[in-house]
Amino acid sequence: MSILVTGAAGYIGSALVRALLPRGEVIATDQSAPSHGRALTGNLAYPQFARSLITAEVGAVFHLAALVSGGAEQNFELGTKVNLDATRDLLEACRLAGHRPKFIFASSIAVYGGVSEVDDETPAAPRISYGAQKLVCEILIDDYTRRGYVDGRALRLPAVMVRPGVANTAVSGWGSAIIREPLAGRDYVCPVRPDTRMACISTARVVQCFVRALELEGEAIGPRRAVLLTGIPVSAQQMWDAVKARSRGRVRFEPDPRVQEIMDAVPKATRSARAAKLGLPASSSIEEIVDDYEKDAALENHG
């Protein structure tokens, strides 16, 4: 069995590909060449490319590629093509292939809106296009699973930290930058108040959750294939405090009204008894998230 990973050049995708390599051939695809696995470079916004990825040899698909929150809000057409249309193209390719591959989808807690605390019973009510697109994909995955075309599962991800390199268009990107930049010796101006909280999980824990999702039998998940992951509540001040003593860079807080308004409306914590029952781990503290980031960075630097 081959495993396909979309978005494989991203920081979550790269870490996931490394974790999957011992399990067999990993086909890694992205717009830029992934550094691990059998690389296929292309744009999922083009239906022909998306549909060409599902062959008889592909037994599992990890679909991580997306235009994240800020980008999808700024460019509705592109967000719809990448986040919704490309997902449907992949699902259609799975249906036409006829061998019911596992389909593991990276969803988001952006499917919720206007609530501070989220649990397994909180209804989805997205307030941004990115969240709406993710929710539609979840519904499609449930239906394609019901009809026997895929064996689907979707993980609703909290803010995944710490993103290395440069920031992307995610509104929550400050959460990574407030840790990454001072540790790298660079000063950082944080665009939210020190008391601003969001639900967080480390890249390492998310990768463990994805691998566990691959291992789970569909019957254990049930007909509702979207599973919320637990994200611990961490404030901007706590993030800075976790790295302050060992940082050469400094942080100052200058709230941007636009960013602050969005962050005030996002979930501050997510708690999922269902995820725990299924063996999907959570981060325990911001200190653990920082430690995981430094371990991941060291592993990446050593190839």
Residues assigned a catalytic role = 130
Shortest CA distance to 230 belongs to which of 268, 261, 259?
268
Note the Cα 96 to chain centre separation in Å. Answer: 27
Helix/strand/coil percentages in the chain, nearest 5? 45, 20, 35
- Please answer whether residues 182 and 240 qualify as being in contact, where contact means their C-beta atoms are separated by less than 8 angstroms: yes
Which residues make Cβ contacts (< 8 Å) with residue 84, sequence separation at least 6?
Answer: 133, 136, 137
Q: Which two tokens mark 81?
A: 């093509």
Handedness of CA 73, 104, 267, 173 (dihedral sign): negative
CA 237 – CA 229 distance, rounded (Å): 23
Asked whether 282 and 206 are in contact (CB, 8 A), the reply is no
